[in-house]
Structure 1
Amino acid sequence: MTTVLGSADRLTAPRPRGRIVQSVHDSLVIARRNLIKMSRIPEVIVFGLIQPIMFVVLFSYVFGGSMQIGNSTSPEVYREFLMAGIFAQTVTFATAGAGAGIADDMHKGLIDRFRSLPMARGAVLTGRTLADLVQTTLTLVVLAIVALLVGWRIHEGVPKALGAFALLLLLGYAFSWIGALIGLSVRTPEAATSGGLIWLFPVTFISNAFVDSSNLPSWLQPIAEWNPFSATVQACRVLFGNPGVSTSDAWPMQHPVWASLLWSVLIIVVFRTLSVRKYRSATA
């Protein structure tokens, strides 16, 4: 017997979604779940805000008068030079939280429960990184207010400043995929936190974030100049109009905005691919 659907049945029957639409929908659902979870643990957000504020205050007032930027040792000049580095450090340090969160979900078996649902495989990781991006945006807003209070200013207008913050968030999102891969590769959240911070310290300190890269030892200067972190910091200084514009001949320092974009997109493509592949193999 052949069953023929009436017009009412055709209207109420579920319509199949395309893979991309399904993936976006599932990612947003997971992101919402993680944001709700974060809102129920406010101390995590508070502590995430306190750390960058401490960095601003300590670096500004402890090292402000002893750092030479160009021909100046003025604390005010150093504060403006410093802030792009602090902003970039803040968005990248969120990587450890992303890795720990994914490792915690793996450890509790939550990922296995997600696998039993008809959802896109990469949505679990994408949703987590998007939720971390929202938290990072909140942290960046608060940090910018604190920076204004200690004397930091923008000199190239609001549109360019917004472009600089967009580059910072893109870098933070790119690095969160590195954190996702670490979280999938370790057994406990504690290991993910440690693993997420170990590599971040050399990346952020062997750069132009806190000192002019020309003051580094000669063998470290090329490493700092081709560091993706340095490219974003330099791009922000250019867009903010802050002191510290590099005189290096290295391509990333001469074209920092493009270098920042290219590095961030490359990191996202590579580490998202590796993370999704690791997720599939780890939960197979």
Structure 2
Amino acid sequence: MTPASPAPQLAAPRPRGGIVQGVNDSLVIAQRNLIRMSRIPEVIIFGVIQPVMFVVLFSYVFGGSISVDGNTSPAAYREFLMAGIFAQTVTFATAGAGAGIADDMHKGLIDRFRSLPMARGAVLTGRTLADLVQTTLTLVVLAVVALLVGWRTHTSAGEVLGGFALLLLLGYAFSWIGALIGLSVRTPEAATSGGLIWLFPLTFISNAFVPSENMPTFLRTIAEWNPFSATVQAARQLFGNFPPGYEAPAAWPMQHPVTASILWSVLIILVFRTLSVRKYRSASA
């Protein structure tokens, strides 16, 4: 009787390389997440309701109570406000990105993806791209509501689209922060809390809702070098929403907001995408 031969060892699937393959894998994951989102419409609905409430409340409750370069009219504050609300909306999507990835980790779905021969960064890239699509839809609805309450732009269509593009770029950058948080916690609830707790000081110590010139010197410096403030300032500039005679603060990001916004967003993407993919790989080791 011949001894039984040892069972062959099955090699773990190797991720496929190449930029084209990585893009294809990312798009497949993005499509999967978009289909999933479409089957849970209440997530999209609630994601739209919150920023709409901010628009209405800030426009009618604070409008007329806050001075913008000496102008206290509700219309002046409404135009000043909207870029801040738009920016807050795209950055608050960070919590959803983190919670979604944490939920996939909790359910073991990420482990299934790891067993497939796909690019390592595709799972995270696909998720952030799907979140970007959802954020774009939310931003479109929010812009319509803003127009209904009296917000107007005073520049060309190209500049307005450029302003929205910078807002979406910031939202995409922040979604990578959410991805890192989602990979670092154990539950979706913790990812939601971790994704929001740092956003409140970031958005309120900025020029989103009040002019930074009215802040104490220490907070003013933080606000003017805040990446969130740079994008808000850039959006206001591209929308033509500065009041007549407005003079930007002397800080470099406020003098060159479009350049500062792009630099901040690209830097955040490079840093946090690298950290997120590294975290994903170490967790799968």
With normalisation by structure 1, the TM-score equals 0.93
1: CA distance, partners of 2:82 / 2:22: 37
- The letter for the 1-side match of 2:70 is N
Deviation at 1:217, TM superposition (A): 1.3
2: CA distance, partners of 1:282 / 1:188: 15
Question: Does the aligned pair in 2 maintain the 1:103–1:187 contact within 8 Å?
Answer: yes
Question: Does the aligned pair in 1 maintain the 2:17–2:119 contact within 8 Å?
Answer: no
What do the CA deviations read for 1:40-86 (whole angstroms, capped 9, x no partner)?
Answer: 00000000000000000000000001000001000000000000000
Partner secondary structure for residue 210 of structure 1: coil
1: CA distance, partners of 2:121 / 2:188: 20
Unmatched tracts of structure 2, length 5 or more: 1-15
Deviation at 1:247, TM superposition (A): 2.5
Alignment match, 1:113: 112
2: CA distance, partners of 1:63 / 1:103: 37
Partner secondary structure for residue 78 of structure 2: helix
Deviation at 1:248, TM superposition (A): 1.1
Question: Does the aligned pair in 2 maintain the 1:234–1:246 contact within 8 Å?
Answer: no
- The letter for the 1-side match of 2:273 is R
Alignment match, 2:181: 182
Alignment match, 2:70: 71
Equivalent residues in 2 for 1:39-78 (5 A)? 39-78=38-77
Question: Does the aligned pair in 2 maintain the 1:203–1:229 contact within 8 Å?
Answer: yes
What do the CA deviations read for 1:154-208 (whole angstroms, capped 9, x no partner)?
Answer: 1011100000000000000000000000000000000000000000000000000
Identity score, percent: 83
Alignment match, 1:98: 97
Alignment match, 1:273: 274
Alignment match, 2:234: 235
Change (3 A) 1:206 1:246: farther
Partner secondary structure for residue 209 of structure 2: coil
Question: Does the aligned pair in 2 maintain the 1:69–1:243 contact within 8 Å?
Answer: no
Partner secondary structure for residue 218 of structure 2: coil
Alignment match, 1:154: 153
2: CA distance, partners of 1:108 / 1:102: 10
Deviation at 1:120, TM superposition (A): 0.2
Deviation at 1:218, TM superposition (A): 1.4
Alignment match, 1:252: 253
What do the CA deviations read for 1:82-128 (whole angstroms, capped 9, x no partner)?
Answer: 00000000000000000000000000110110011010000000000
Deviation at 1:18, TM superposition (A): 5.7
Alignment match, 1:220: 219
1: CA distance, partners of 2:102 / 2:96: 10
- The letter for the 1-side match of 2:259 is W
Partner secondary structure for residue 92 of structure 2: helix
2: CA distance, partners of 1:124 / 1:18: 14
2: CA distance, partners of 1:98 / 1:30: 14
Change (3 A) 1:48 1:246: farther
- The letter for the 2-side match of 1:115 is R
Partner secondary structure for residue 249 of structure 2: coil
Change (3 A) 1:164 1:27: same
Change (3 A) 1:210 1:119: same
Question: Does the aligned pair in 2 maintain the 1:52–1:86 contact within 8 Å?
Answer: yes
Partner secondary structure for residue 153 of structure 1: coil
Aligned residue pair count: 268
1: CA distance, partners of 2:17 / 2:110: 23
Alignment match, 1:88: 87
Question: Does the aligned pair in 1 maintain the 2:166–2:231 contact within 8 Å?
Answer: yes
Alignment match, 1:169: 168
Equivalent residues in 2 for 1:3-14 (5 A)? none
What do the CA deviations read for 1:232-282 (whole angstroms, capped 9, x no partner)?
Answer: 000000000002555311000000000000000000000000000000111
Deviation at 1:230, TM superposition (A): 0.1
- The letter for the 2-side match of 1:37 is R
Unmatched tracts of structure 1, length 5 or more: 1-16
- The letter for the 1-side match of 2:122 is A
2: CA distance, partners of 1:226 / 1:247: 13
2: CA distance, partners of 1:206 / 1:18: 43
2: CA distance, partners of 1:273 / 1:219: 32
